[in-house]
Amino acid sequence: MRVRGGLLAGAQGLWLALFGLIGSVLLFTLTVVSIVLVVLGIGFFTTPVMIKALRAFADQRRVLAHEWSGVRIPSPYRPPVPAGGRRGGLAGQVEGCVALLKDPATWRDLQWLLVDMTAGFVLAILAPCLLLYAVWGPVLALGVWKPIVEAGGNEWFTFVHVTGQESADSAAVLGLAYGVLGLFVNPGLLRTNFHLTRHFLRPTRERELALRVDRLTETRHDALDSSAAELRRIERDLHDGAQARLVAVGMSLGAVEALIEKDPQQARKLVAAARATSAEALTELRDLVRGIHPPVLAERGLGDAVRALALRMPLPVEVDVDLAGRAAEPVESAAYFAVSELLTNAAKHAGAERVWVDVHHARGTLRIAVTDDGRGGADPAGGSGLAGLERRLGAFDGVLAVSSPRGGPTMITVEIPCALAAGG
């Protein structure tokens, strides 16, 4: 595993060094020239194009940082002004360009390009160089040093001056040492490069606060919409279900009053029918209450509620719960219905044969992972209901992470910041 990780990091470092250097130099040069041309008016048309290309380049680096080293770099950019600005025409073009230049993230991206083509390049190229030295040292020792020296070459292997077989053997030993070192430090070099990138590409403190306010505003609206929709559902279920049955019971009892002396036999039948109808109404009311807030959740907490939910599923569900207490009631309810929806999706849409649910709390965060062995391909952007679940979790500052390659397996992780009350 160590060998594979070191070799992979070396290859990734080579790609990062070469394409990163080329991209950084080109984008920095063209963007700066375009900004200078704003004085002549030409830059109002070329600068937005270059800044968008720069942001696409930075976004690609964000993706690589997360996929290769697990370093998350949030995007700090302000919402884009529509093409041509809000007013359209030349004035709109100028407005859009000025908006991009006023965004502090634009200038931080340019600073990052300078760092990426210097310190970032050095960190990235070190990883493949350590591995290449591990090859070049033994190659020199096998006799390649001789024609180089005889041709008048002055071969230095880092700090070893190769002039004969003895010094070539020293280069071989040093090269192998470099190779072993690279296997251990290459992933760290790559991660350091991405942390350096993160320092420039992440949002500033002020921007983080602004993004958080925007997110909370959006999730508040979503929460209000969800509450209104839930209220309408409850009203509809009451009107179409329990209410209609209770009205039928009342009508039956009215008929019983009229028949109890004239036709006792028929009256008894109506009483029996009314009893059955009232039982159905009671069942529907219980189901409705369970849909609002399951009794087991209120009485026993999230762990037992999830276990009870798993027992009702048509496929095997393994539940692992590690909670040292109980979260606030709204958080438990949100987590319960998130698990319910994810299990339903796994049973109905994923073609899964088995599901695993892991619920635990660590470092102030409730984490729930639902994994299935289905066909995969779940995507919040595909209208699968995951997007709605993500919005509802946003009301609690929660996040939804989806890992679902084609062919499976699918792992969906829910994280909700919260504290646990001891003794739950």
- Residues 250-261: pLDDT tens digits? 776 777 677 677
pLDDT confidence bin for 243, thresholds 50/70/90:
low
> Could you read off the pLDDT of 169-206 as tens digits, one per residue?
888 888 888 888 888 888 999 999 999 999 998 887 77
Peptide bond preceding 409 in cis form (omega within 30 of 0): yes
Ranges of H-type helices in 325-406: 329-348, 386-394
CATH class of 296-422: alpha beta
C-alpha to C-alpha distance for 417 and 110, rounded to whole angstroms: 35
Q: Which two tokens stand for residue 405?
A: 């390659």
- Ramachandran angles phi, psi of 401, nearest 5°: -115, 130
Band (94; pLDDT cuts 50, 70, 90): confident
Tokens of 62: 């964000």
Beta pairing class for 317-322 and 355-362:
parallel
Dmax of the chain from CA atoms? 128
Instruction: Say what the pTM is.
Output: 0.56
Both tokens assigned to 313: 């599923």
Q: Which DSSP letter does residue 204 get?
A: P
Provide mean pLDDT across the span 317-330. Answer: 86
- Structure confidence at residue 239 (pLDDT): 57
Asked whether the beta carbons of 54 and 109 are under 8 A apart, the reply is yes
Winning range, highest mean pLDDT, from 25-29, 137-141, 153-157, 310-314 = 25-29
Q: What is the pLDDT of residue 256?
A: 67
Q: pLDDT band for 211, please (50, 70, 90 cuts).
A: low
- Give the Cα separation of 133 and 129 in Å (integer): 6
Q: Which amino acid is at 124?
A: A
Asked if residue 146 lies in contact with residue 100, where contact means CB atoms within 8 angstroms, the answer is no
Of the two residues 424 and 63, the one the predictor is more confident about is 63
Other C-beta atoms lying within 10 Å of the C-beta of residue 297: 22
- Answer whether 390's CB lies under 8 Å from 223's CB: no
Backbone phi, then psi, for 398, in 5-degree steps? -90, 165
Q: What is the pLDDT of residue 54?
A: 93
The predicted model gives 278-297 an average pLDDT of 62
Q: Which helix (H) or strand (E) holds 328?
A: none
pLDDT tens-place string over residues 24-47: 999 999 999 999 998 888 888 899
**Mean residue pLDDT across the chain:** 80
Q: In terms of Cα–Cα distance, which of 234, 232, 335 is closest to 291?
A: 234
The helix-helix angle for 43-69 and 104-115 (nearest 10°) equals 60
- CA dihedral of residues 333, 335, 339, 344 (deg, nearest 10): 50
Express as a percent the part of the chain with pLDDT over 70.
Answer: 78
pLDDT > 90 in the chain, percent? 18
Residue 231 phi, psi dihedral angles, 5° rounding: -65, -40
Task: Please choose, from the candidates 122, 102, 112, 95, the residue with its C-alpha nearest in 3D space to the C-alpha of residue 54.
Answer: 112
pLDDT, residue 191, reads: 92
DSSP 72: -
> What was the pLDDT predicted at 31?
94
Question: Measured between alpha carbons, how far is 56 from 304 in angstroms, rounded to an integer?
Answer: 47
Spell out where 107-247 has E strands. 156-157, 160-161
Q: What is the pLDDT, as a whole number, of residue 15?
A: 93
- Edge-to-edge strand list for the sheet holding 355-362: 317-322, 355-362, 365-372, 410-417, 399-403
pLDDT (mean) for 104-133: 91
| Cα–Cα dist 175/424, whole Å | 60
Residues 335, 414 contacting (CB under 8 angstroms): yes
